[in-house]
Amino acid sequence: MLFTNAQEAKEHPKRVEKFKKATIKGWYYALEHKEEIIKIIKNKYAKNKSIEHLRYEADALEEVIQSKSIPIGTLDKGRIKYALQLYEKHGLIKNYIDVDDYIFESFHPNKKLQKSKILNSDEIDYLKNKKVIKMCIDPNWMPFEKNDKGKHIGMTAEYIHILEKEIGIPIKMVNTKSWGESLRMGQERKCDIFSLVMPTKERLKYLNFTKPYLKIPLVIVTNLDEFFINDISTVTSKKIGVVKGYAYGEILQEKYPNMKIIEVNNLKEGLQKVRNRELFGFIGTLATTGYHIQKNYIGELKIAGKFDEKWELGIGTRNDEPILKNIFNKAIKQISSKKQQEILNKWISVNYDREIDYTPILKWAAGISFIFIIILLLVLRINRKLNLEIRSRKETEKKLQELSITDELTTLYNRRYFNEIFPKLLNSAKRDKHNICFVLMDIDYFKPYNDTYGHISGDKALQSVSTCVKNSLSRADDYCFRLGGEEFGMLFKGLSKEQATQLIKTIKQNIEDLKIEHSKNSASKYLTASFGLVIKDAVSIKDENELYREADALLYKAKESGRNKVCVSD
């Protein structure tokens, strides 16, 4: 098969087509002039092979290629789809792959445009002459979009890819470094479209706007100790941040003239100012704020309110070429609601604080003393809020504590907790005048295992080994850590050299007894592990680094001497 990258095929289809034709022509020439090609290969590339062997290779290749019955260059989409279905069935791929997106179609000028069922003749002629549509984006606005070293990524990139297929000509991103720079490019007519934008009075001077293809709720982000905000008007006296140049800042200022809006350069700066309590809150979309909280501020910030206002975003098109708006409105209409939901689900998964709905209580209480009920509801509401906040904070703190010290894949303790507990356990052993035992363990030939059986099987193997080790350590102060990749650490105190050695040998055997097949393991036909075990009188140890270095040297010795071994300190 002949491969190129998507950007090359998109931006230089004629060049790709010519290269493809030249390659096919070269193969036909090679098959028709085998003796000439054999001499070239013999003289330049394979001097150690005989002419007879090269003739055998040529004949075998010709038999495989079958160029007389199947033209060279033929790609059977049905066969590729079948292969993908097999990969999916066996869990080797996670995401749906559209074969049409990955097979290069021979280039013919305006081939797609001539077949278009949604565009009229004027729109087709316009795009024929246009050839490329230049697009400006917000270069740092994930999960919506980002300029990632010249590549358009994020939610809108998926939409633009669909729209590009509908209109039939390339949409090329203009390289900008900020949203302000993108807006200036649009005013100077250096952008034909904006990928995702909302109308404002200022933008209407140079842009038309398609119907929205994204409707995202506005939310306010605060610190964890703030209550739920049901009505924005209750916090207008407090400093609230919005990104400079964003449309909803202008809209909110018109709706709430007294609101203390503080402009920030970007979302990251706004969230940081909330975290540092320079701002009470920050207003943004559910998608962007949720994305960045989960990525950078979990356990520090929360989405404290969701407003009735929704940010309705579509494509902005230059208003001196009004036909563009019609073209993109027609293309947007072709995006199914199912596809829109798929894209949203892929990029947005956010929870926010919710207010309690007291409507049923109010209906029930319609015939009871109004003043009494209002007072009662206020008390209930305050108590309910306080209880929910306390419970939520305790649960969050507990969960965050567990997450912060746990390896996600294996559920063992992670490197961070290892660094925290190692000196503490060493000091405890010194006080009790006990031995301290430290083990470094490495799964043998794990990279060849991943290469042979795949990363999904590799992850399952790591989980099985981790469970095996965890079950072998029975005492409360026995610790096991995943230190990185296939390397593990074990830490315990109070065992003699004989007891510790026997324990680790038992763990070594238990791992092999899992009988996880490993054809590339020269030490065994199953998955095995090597160990470096250090047992010392804790009082004699200066610091934990001394133990680590000695265990590392012993592990290296175990691997060098054949693997599936336990090497113990003297």
pLDDT at 326 over 70: yes
What is the percentage of the chain residues whose pLDDT exceeds 70?
85
531 vs 522: which has the higher pLDDT? 531
Of 171, 174, 170, 175, nearest to 14 by C-alpha is 170
pLDDT at 385 over 60: yes
* 109, 147 Cβ separation under 8 angstroms: no
Q: What is the pTM of this model?
A: 0.43
For residue 17, CA distances in Å to 22, 73, 104, 468 come to 9, 11, 9, 55
**Strand-pair category, 145-148 with 151-153:** antiparallel
If phi > 0 it is left, if psi is from -120 to 50 it is alpha, else beta; for residue 168 that is left
Res 392: pLDDT: 65
Identify the band that residue 567 occupies on the pLDDT scale cut at 50, 70 and 90.
very high
CA atoms of 408 and 415, how far apart (whole Å): 12
Res 328: pLDDT: 94
CA atoms of 504 and 406, how far apart (whole Å): 23
Arithmetic mean of pLDDT, 415-422: 86
Res 351: pLDDT: 44
Picking from 80-94, 231-245, 475-489, 517-531, which range would have the lowest pLDDT averaged per residue?
A: 80-94
Res 356: pLDDT: 46
Q: Please identify which residue in the block is written with the tokens 């969960």.
A: 399
Arithmetic mean of pLDDT, 279-293: 83
* 568, 554 Cβ separation under 8 angstroms: yes
pLDDT single digits (tens) 158-190 = 999 999 888 889 999 999 999 889 999 999 999
pLDDT at 367 over 60: no
**Strand-pair category, 171-173 with 151-153:** unpaired
Res 112: pLDDT: 53
pLDDT at 103 over 70: yes
Q: What share of the chain is helix, strand, coil (3-state, %, to 5)?
A: 50, 20, 30
Please count the other Cβ atoms lying within 10 Å of the Cβ belonging to residue 503. Answer: 21
pLDDT at 287 over 80: no
Decide: helix, strand or coil at residue 188.
coil
CA atoms of 52 and 34, how far apart (whole Å): 12
The type of residue at 557 is: K
**Distance between alpha carbon 13 and the CA centroid of its chain, in Å?**
30
pLDDT at 366 over 70: no
What is the percentage of the chain residues whose pLDDT exceeds 90?
34
pLDDT at 106 over 70: no
CA atoms of 207 and 27, how far apart (whole Å): 51
Identify the band that residue 89 occupies on the pLDDT scale cut at 50, 70 and 90.
confident
Res 108: pLDDT: 46
Is residue 507 exposed (0-12), middle (13-18) or buried (19+ Cβ within 10 Å)? Answer: buried
Q: What is the 3-state secondary structure (H, E, C) of 212-237?
A: CCEEEEEEEEEECCCCCCCCHHHHCC
Whole-number average pLDDT of the chain: 83
Of 522, 506, 517, nearest to 566 by C-alpha is 506
CA atoms of 492 and 475, how far apart (whole Å): 9
CA atoms of 403 and 422, how far apart (whole Å): 19
Res 401: pLDDT: 60
Identify the band that residue 397 occupies on the pLDDT scale cut at 50, 70 and 90.
low
Question: Which of 101-115, 173-187, 229-243, 367-381 shows the highest mean pLDDT?
Answer: 173-187
Own/partner pairs for 268-273, CB < 8 Å, 24+ apart? 268/292, 268/296, 270/241, 270/242, 270/243, 271/221, 271/296, 271/297, 271/301, 273/241
CA atoms of 371 and 388, how far apart (whole Å): 26
Res 444: pLDDT: 92
Please give the full DSSP string across 497-547, using - where no structure is assigned: HHHHHHHHHHHHHHHHHT--B-TT-TT-SB--EEEEEEEEEGGG---HHHH
CA atoms of 88 and 291, how far apart (whole Å): 28
DSSP secondary structure code for residue 107 in this structure: P
* 495, 429 Cβ separation under 8 angstroms: no
Picking from 45-49, 239-243, 387-391, 487-491, which range would have the lowest pLDDT averaged per residue?
A: 387-391
Decide: helix, strand or coil at residue 116.
coil
Q: Please identify which residue in the block is written with the tokens 């209480």.
A: 365
If phi > 0 it is left, if psi is from -120 to 50 it is alpha, else beta; for residue 348 that is beta
CA atoms lying within 13 Å on the CB side of residue 532: 20
